Amino acid sequence: MPLTAAYDAHADWYEDYVSGRAAPYTRRSGELLASLLGPGAGACLDLCCGTGVRAGTLRALGWTPLGVDLSRGQLRHAAARLPVAAGDAAALPVATASLPAVACSLAHTDLPDYAAVLREVARVLRPGGRFAHVGVHPCFVGAFADWSDRPRVFVDERYADRSYTTQAWDPTGVRARVGAWHVPLADLLNGLADAGLRLVRAMESGPGGVADVLGLLAVKPV
């Protein structure tokens, strides 16, 4: 199936959304990303960089962010924040074993095969390189989870369904626009292991005690 950049049609909306209505979530998930990745020097690939909203966080840690995204609409905004290239996360325009760090924020449910992307992350990382993943929490966020009665969250049998869907409890959010693939928790963790990445740390964050974000730090073994 040819890749289509679903965000091209929503890039201006997304630019406003992450810094407007979703700003508290953007900030909180960015803090998680910073805690996991930690300070460092050299290039950090901002994988699926979107509008470049993580560039400032990565720079504040000492990294030099470089963005890759499939959507030229998103990259139009990102180019004002970091050097960018158009590319597919599953076939990165990046040399093997060339990077000390990769960060991927809020994008794994946009990718039809995140396990393949994790293998590509492992390919481009140097031995000892760090990979920070921050994404919607696989257990509590997706078409299978209804947050309309916060802080209660209702999870239903669609947790087992990995297929693409635009179903979402919030008709005004990102997923009702661009849809999502669901990656169950075991698939996410096994994807890291199968790519040869070693999990170092996991962190959760969420309002009212239920986590809506899961972050993982993994390293490529030396």
Ligand X SMILES: C[S@@+](CC[C@H](N)C(=O)[O-])C[C@H]1O[C@@H](n2cnc3c(N)ncnc32)[C@H](O)[C@@H]1O
Residues in contact with ligand X by the rule CB under 6 A = 3, 5, 7, 18, 48-50, 53-54, 69-71, 74, 88-90, 105-107, 110-111, 174
Please identify, using beta-carbon distances, which residue of 106 and 154 lies nearer to ligand X: 106
Please identify, using beta-carbon distances, which residue of 111 and 145 lies nearer to ligand X: 111
Q: Is the dihedral of CA 151, 152, 155, 156 positive or negative?
A: negative
Please identify, using beta-carbon distances, which residue of 12 and 156 lies nearer to ligand X: 12
Q: For residue 197, which of 66, 104, 94 has the smallest C-alpha distance? A: 104
Shortest Å, Cβ 8 to ligand X: 8
Please identify, using beta-carbon distances, which residue of 15 and 220 lies nearer to ligand X: 15
The first and second tokens of residue 38, run together, are 């930690």
Integer CA distances (angstroms), 74 to 5, 11, 49, 78, in order: 9, 5, 8, 6
Amino acid sitting at position 51: T
Are residues 218 and 123 in contact, defined by beta-carbon separation less than 8 angstroms?
no
Please identify, using beta-carbon distances, which residue of 159 and 181 lies nearer to ligand X: 181
What CA–CA distance (Å, rounded) separates 41 from 124? 17
Shortest Å, Cβ 69 to ligand X: 4
Q: Which residues are registered as beta bridge partners of 69?
A: 86
Shortest Å, Cβ 215 to ligand X: 12
Which residue is listed with tokens 């409890």?
A: 169
Shortest Å, Cβ 112 to ligand X: 8
User: 83 CB contacts (<8 Å, ≥6 apart)?
Assistant: 65, 66, 67
Q: Which residue in the shown chain puts its C-beta closest to ligand X? A: 50
Please identify, using beta-carbon distances, which residue of 3 and 193 lies nearer to ligand X: 3
Shortest Å, Cβ 152 to ligand X: 25
Are residues 65 and 46 in contact, defined by beta-carbon separation less than 8 angstroms?
yes
The first and second tokens of residue 42, run together, are 């050299």
Shortest Å, Cβ 14 to ligand X: 7
Give the distance, in angstroms, between the CA of residue 6 and the centroid of all CA atoms in the same chain: 15
